[in-house]
Structure 1
């Protein structure tokens, strides 16, 4: 590729370029065509079958003329647009449109025969539709031969509203490109299948090459090789070393291209400076996935970051996904695979838990801890610098993986938090997700991670986890505590907890822990220190039969060794088939104890490791407080999951959006491109049916009196500047006549100074509770709605809750109730209940404004008074800015 090809001309829309995952899990690069692609187009055309050419041009055409090549590769990126998909240096598909009328364009595409059926055309159509809408085109027209079923299928299955007519032997298909819920669902479903398949290819390889496997004891490559062999991987393992003939008793090859058989997965353990060359060799060999355990990339500074970006660019260009670099590796305990392509010698037995860790250094210790607990894993991925494969990819895979019932995430950064929330919200309805997010105090990104910094406070991140149903815990030990309960016991139906114990002291600790965690302890059952299996069995059965009990904590700490095994067996017998969770503090031991475990599913091969404990096993904790804390997390998750999911936020633009956009565009046109614009948001909110009570500026007491006569009595006088209005004592309320207004104006003017502008506003109905609604456009997360009470105390305590926009009705209801001061709105502490439903409706509107107008960098409704009959917005301000690029998780499918 020459310099002309890599340096596009001015006006080239680089933001249309994207790496994409295809339906079979491979990758391709999508970009606009360029004049320098002429030879690439000729080569592509020469590989097409006669049938493909006939379907595209309605007749035979052995070759393209020079004039045709020039026309096809020279486009204006507005009325004539063409996008191509490349794999490696070759073009494998092209799609184009030509404008034929105002708002209408003719579309056609062509996919190389060898790549048909991989979903290339579908993803190209998504991207071309986005470029068309950007250029003011709302409708595609395509003329298709009736025999061209593939093209008609692509157009029909895109999810857009369409129609077909037949005339003169040709089917004319028309697509309305207006985004619809159906089109969105199609895109999401295709994304899910493609990304899940890309991870499946990594975790279920038929063969593995270890590149850089040396004979040196303790060498990284040799460690991975020995762990693969020790796990008895079911396929061939190929050491690659340029000088030696064998490593660890296995024949070695001088390069990956010299290997006789196919290679599905390659583990790279070579110095960072040599990784790019090895990636190209792997692409030439047809390798489908890479694990880069080598360090020396983004974590080392700018030079390493450039090397890391080049690694990902080259790998994706050739169709490969990358785990790492600077990672521990991946493991799959499926007995049909038995993959341990990690630096950790210890991998837990087969289990029901999928585990994603970003930290390579921490990963080995985590695997050892899981194994010590006897918990078991289905699969494990350490992403290291997560330059390509991320936690979102693993969520897509684990969602459908029948071997995974619980998902654990150790996160140090987010590549696309908005996509994470979307996926987690869907997956949590079926499978619990337990997350540890480091960096609570800094919200920083570890050096080397390809991820943006999240500007929101950590409390906002916790709110977003809560919105998505993710169980966020403080540390890894809590994560394992929660996971072993979720993996082996049913979900509780409520907060009622029974304690069955043989110790007064531990019973009291358990009951106190329940109250502190928001659970409801029922009268405990203390069996005494001499209790044996009969007493425990009868007490447990009795508690499980009580309708007020939703979970049972069993404490067994005999003062002297007694009938321990018999007690365990009786507990297991009673628990089997129970619909309520049972967890234990059994002799102060931690994990899935053999005596409290039922066998898991049988192994599928003779050499498979022993199966982990199955469903119905009783998890044990070192202390009652730890058991109760884990149970409390699960109770909250079960309550979230039991609530109706409600409808998804509406994808179609609201009827108010265009008028609001016109206002925003007009305001931004009056400013410099990089400037922010502060506006009164009254007119903007009016487009969405929200009335902001007018406030009239008054430069004198007489002007204030005239304003009061126009607005209607009673009125308030306040500081006009919002920043001044935040200070205490800057409002005078309930002014019912001229004399009180004049006196209030004089007092406030004296207090604030003669240069501080004042305003008059009609008095809102009382009693009312002041609240604050804000929306912030976070570069990493997108639009986020926050809510809190407007009282000074609530502001000082930071009593604020957050949700991603747009909001469903359910999101808005949860947002109102998420603040600690919510009882003041709901009729608690002697306050009259206010119009909460009207408040929730206003929150939905605020979220919709933020979602539809990316130019709104910040929107503040402050104050909003919530009374018994409705809400009153007293002030609204907005900060506008031209968008700095597409929002996270918006637009057609693309990799980060």
Structure 2
């Protein structure tokens, strides 16, 4: 089906990839796309609707109507040297026929191969909503794609809003006044500040769009029409929503259109016989077949709805036709300014007193609390709501995204960052559609609020039906590294998710990792101490155990000692009586001490679970404190260990993004694009650069490749050694043998021609026996300083984007997978951690009396590789092997670079909703 924003046939040269849905400052959505010649009428209407002031600012003259010549020039662009983007929304003509209305235009015209003049025109009604900033991001991304490196613009001094768009974009802007006109100029390379500005604007816009959904007051349920003897699945969905609204009406007004009938007579619930009886709507729940959704979305746009929750299935999970229906639904909703939750969503609810929203299939809303809960599938939501109820854990909001066609966990994290009602964020993820954006948002959120995540399938590589996710070739451990870098607490399953949430929601963050243990027996104390050590905690000397017949005085004495100032940082209390019945004295003493001191405490006590009243007390300021109780001591310690690790991450220096000097990213971009343009084999597995091309590309990032010569005969080898300098190393050029000293593929410290000739003959013999090659290619290279050989690799993954790995060279490292991973952009702390977390790292720090390696030089190489991988999505793979780290300096002895034409990354340097 062709939507109003898509031509029936895409014209040749039309850059489809530039189309995008965006969120504006007020939380509404809009569609951006390249301008087409058939937009002439829409452009004319747009110009006629502009105020005299806006027209003057754009054309430096009070233009009310464009001439045919002007209109042709503005709408006929080649989308290369002359590019134009428009922001559009659906509208209607005087007779009610649908059409598209243009609400903003951004364009550039090249004035030289690398420079273009940019101009904007924003509808009066849209000014102040951030549309100009979004258009600048998108037209700048298009310009960079076309080789434009710099924008200039002529702006009238009175046009303060447009000057502010340029000034606040984060670029290094220069401007000067000449003959009454301000000329603005800036380079288009993204800067640290421009990325931060974009992320901040994205955060505010996406948070505002979620706020509109979660604070909705006027809710419409659209049910299916009458059915036959057997009710359709949508009838059951609609009936559940109505039943829940009657049982737990919240603080909203629910209007029911369509089935079920009759609508119960209940407070806050009314029936509408037709669309004509439906007034303004904030949020709509759609329990209708997919064939009826488009009509409903169109009707909702007329009533000011900000979001739709699609409860029914029948979309992407059914195959290509269903995926097309899902995309049409999202495109139609975005074009009308609405966000989409679902399809196959369980709905959403909030528990804020006086503003409760129950727009879900849940029979009962969870109790009010401080946990923001996000999940995807409806079955997961059922499990979570039942578990929340059983444990007595309260939430601030719960949202099920279903197939996650639009609204995702990223959107909710943006909202919860500033939501005063939410103190803990929990995410149950069945797939991650944009790991780079997830990592960026989660890292920002985790700096102020804990984020706990369960990923179905552990690896994050399981894609449920209905989820549109790029394929990935990344190792399973990469997801763990992404979460670690982001400060996210990784839970193994739903049970552990709730365990950790209980601690975070009801206990203060720990100040350290020294754990004090209070147990009801010496054996229990020993078991808890072992579990604590496994969780990375240190058992404090104040730990103690109670005899079975301990008196209240003994309990108080031991508890006071455990909670004494400086005795420990966290407490684990375990009380499992064997013979003497539990009196509750230990629970009372621990609860009162924890409330009095504010020390993080968890418990495992026979007969107690969740957040029991026996473990509740009141702090000195009157604040109620509840100690979470766990079914086993191991569960309590595991949850506590994860919370301590997170608290430590919060206080650690997370570093700054690495920015090595001597980097020429523009030159690297030209080299890569030029090489791909000249090749006919850039698809598939891509093309491999030769050593000269590799050395040139590495040089753009300040990486020097140790020179070598390819030879085939002994005489060529001797000539190469004379030119490079003795002593030399001789290596086979075969990938199977080039690093295998044990198989004769490498000969080192060759000091004279005679030895080199003999080694050439021996290597030829090895090649004949192992490879069946009588005339093998070999490499001669000057001997590098002695050091520890390492391997650094990077590559572009379709889902995760750039990834970097580090390990020490050798079969043992490869066989044992002793490799550290990082996802650029990396900070200096991330780089240092990669070097130190491999198990073989002691070899770099003077193991066995060897001299310590130059760690600073090694980290510099790793940082440069990470920047290179981040800059160049065409870098399909890079391998530096070996990288020899000496006591002073690093030698990169061999490099392999493979390039491939790259699709746009999921987290491109422009704000856009998922395509």
Shorter-chain TM range is over 0.9
Q: Residue 524 of structure 2 aligns to a residue in which SS?
A: helix
Q: Is 1:236–2:256 an aligned residue pair?
A: no
Q: Is 1:554–2:569 an aligned residue pair?
A: no
Aligned residue for 2:657? 648
Alignment CA distance shift 1:867-1:108 (3 Å): closer
Alignment CA distance shift 1:822-1:357 (3 Å): same
| Contact 2:287 2:312 (8 Å CA) reproduced | yes
Of the three residues 400, 425, 433, the one matched with 1:382 is: 400
Aligned residue for 2:360? 342
Of the three residues 688, 709, 723, the one matched with 1:678 is: 688
Q: Residue 622 of structure 1 aligns to a residue in which SS?
A: coil
Instruction: Give me the whole-angstrom Cα distance separating, in 1, the residues matched to 2:560 and 2:484.
Output: 34
TM-score, L = length of structure 2:
0.91
1:156-199: per-residue Cα shift (whole Å, max 9, x none)? 32223334444555544444444333222221111110011111
**Is the deviation greater in 805-814 or in 16-25?**
805-814
Aligned residue for 2:73? 71
Q: Is 1:752–2:763 an aligned residue pair?
A: no
Aligned residue for 1:194? 205
Q: Residue 290 of structure 1 aligns to a residue in which SS?
A: strand
Q: Is 1:873–2:875 an aligned residue pair?
A: no
Q: Is 1:639–2:648 an aligned residue pair?
A: yes
Q: Give the deviation of 1:462 after TM superposition.
A: 0.7
| Contact 2:26 2:129 (8 Å CA) reproduced | yes
Query: 1:441-460 counterparts in 2 under 5 A?
Result: 443-460=461-478
Alignment CA distance shift 1:649-1:47 (3 Å): farther
Aligned residue for 1:22? 24
**Is the deviation greater in 829-838 or in 808-817?**
829-838
**Is the deviation greater in 117-126 or in 55-64?**
55-64
| Contact 1:502 1:531 (8 Å CA) reproduced | no
Query: 1:433-582 counterparts in 2 under 5 A?
Result: 433-440=451-458, 443-523=461-541, 524-545=543-564, 547=566, 549-559=568-578, 564-576=583-595, 578=597, 580-582=599-601
Q: Give the deviation of 1:788 after TM superposition.
A: 1.5
Instruction: Give me the whole-angstrom Cα distance separating, in 2, the residues matched to 1:715 and 1:202.
Output: 69
Aligned residue for 1:700? 713
Q: Residue 14 of structure 2 aligns to a residue in which SS?
A: coil
Instruction: Give me the whole-angstrom Cα distance separating, in 1, the residues matched to 2:324 and 2:747.
Output: 60
Instruction: Give me the whole-angstrom Cα distance separating, in 2, the residues matched to 1:411 and 1:315.
Output: 24
1:401-441: per-residue Cα shift (whole Å, max 9, x none)? 11112111111111111111111122211112111112236
Aligned residue for 1:610? none
Instruction: Give me the whole-angstrom Cα distance separating, in 2, the residues matched to 1:254 and 1:129.
Output: 50
TM-score, L = length of structure 1:
0.92
| Contact 2:663 2:700 (8 Å CA) reproduced | no
Alignment CA distance shift 1:93-1:725 (3 Å): same
Q: Is 1:91–2:102 an aligned residue pair?
A: yes
Aligned residue for 1:657? 665
Aligned residue for 1:850? 869
Q: Residue 725 of structure 1 aligns to a residue in which SS?
A: coil
Aligned residue for 1:764? 784
Instruction: Give me the whole-angstrom Cα distance separating, in 2, the residues matched to 1:869 and 1:541.
Output: 55
1:348-380: per-residue Cα shift (whole Å, max 9, x none)? 211121111112112111111022111211111
| Contact 1:425 1:469 (8 Å CA) reproduced | yes
| Contact 1:5 1:36 (8 Å CA) reproduced | no
**Is the deviation greater in 225-234 or in 420-429?**
225-234
Alignment CA distance shift 1:712-1:655 (3 Å): closer
Q: Give the deviation of 1:123 after TM superposition.
A: 1.0
Instruction: Give me the whole-angstrom Cα distance separating, in 2, the residues matched to 1:236 and 1:829.
Output: 74
Alignment CA distance shift 1:458-1:4 (3 Å): closer
1:9-28: per-residue Cα shift (whole Å, max 9, x none)? 22222222111001111100
Q: Give the deviation of 1:223 after TM superposition.
A: 0.9
Q: Residue 676 of structure 2 aligns to a residue in which SS?
A: helix
Alignment CA distance shift 1:577-1:18 (3 Å): farther
Q: Give the deviation of 1:211 after TM superposition.
A: 0.9
Q: Is 1:12–2:14 an aligned residue pair?
A: yes
Alignment CA distance shift 1:853-1:69 (3 Å): same
Alignment CA distance shift 1:641-1:270 (3 Å): same
Alignment CA distance shift 1:853-1:107 (3 Å): closer
| Contact 2:657 2:825 (8 Å CA) reproduced | no
Q: Give the deviation of 1:869 after TM superposition.
A: 2.3
Q: Give the deviation of 1:268 after TM superposition.
A: 0.6
**Is the deviation greater in 270-279 or in 856-865?**
270-279
| Contact 2:595 2:618 (8 Å CA) reproduced | no
1:574-628: per-residue Cα shift (whole Å, max 9, x none)? 11253542111122533222222357999xxxxxxxxxx9774211111111111
Q: Give the deviation of 1:561 after TM superposition.
A: 6.9
Q: Give the deviation of 1:245 after TM superposition.
A: 6.0
Q: Residue 419 of structure 1 aligns to a residue in which SS?
A: helix
Instruction: Give me the whole-angstrom Cα distance separating, in 2, the residues matched to 1:118 and 1:288.
Output: 16
| Contact 1:213 1:220 (8 Å CA) reproduced | no
Aligned residue for 1:606? none
Instruction: Give me the whole-angstrom Cα distance separating, in 1, the residues matched to 2:133 and 2:673.
Output: 33
Instruction: Give me the whole-angstrom Cα distance separating, in 2, the residues matched to 1:200 and 1:326.
Output: 21
Query: 1:683-762 counterparts in 2 under 5 A?
Result: 683-727=696-740, 728-729=742-743, 730-738=745-753, 740-753=755-768, 754-762=774-782
Q: Is 1:123–2:134 an aligned residue pair?
A: yes
Q: Is 1:394–2:412 an aligned residue pair?
A: yes
1:447-467: per-residue Cα shift (whole Å, max 9, x none)? 110221222121111111111
Instruction: Give me the whole-angstrom Cα distance separating, in 2, the residues matched to 1:355 and 1:601.
Output: 30
1:315-338: per-residue Cα shift (whole Å, max 9, x none)? 111111001001111111111321
Alignment CA distance shift 1:542-1:138 (3 Å): same
| Ranges in structure 2 where 5+ consecutive residues have no aligned partner | 91-99, 769-773
Of the three residues 841, 853, 867, the one matched with 1:822 is: 841
1:740-794: per-residue Cα shift (whole Å, max 9, x none)? 444443333322313433333333333x322211001011111110111212112
1:286-305: per-residue Cα shift (whole Å, max 9, x none)? 21101111011111111111
Q: CA RMSD in A?
A: 2.8
Instruction: Give me the whole-angstrom Cα distance separating, in 2, the residues matched to 1:57 and 1:400.
Output: 41
**Is the deviation greater in 40-49 or in 356-365?**
40-49
Aligned residue for 2:118? 107
Aligned residue for 1:607? none
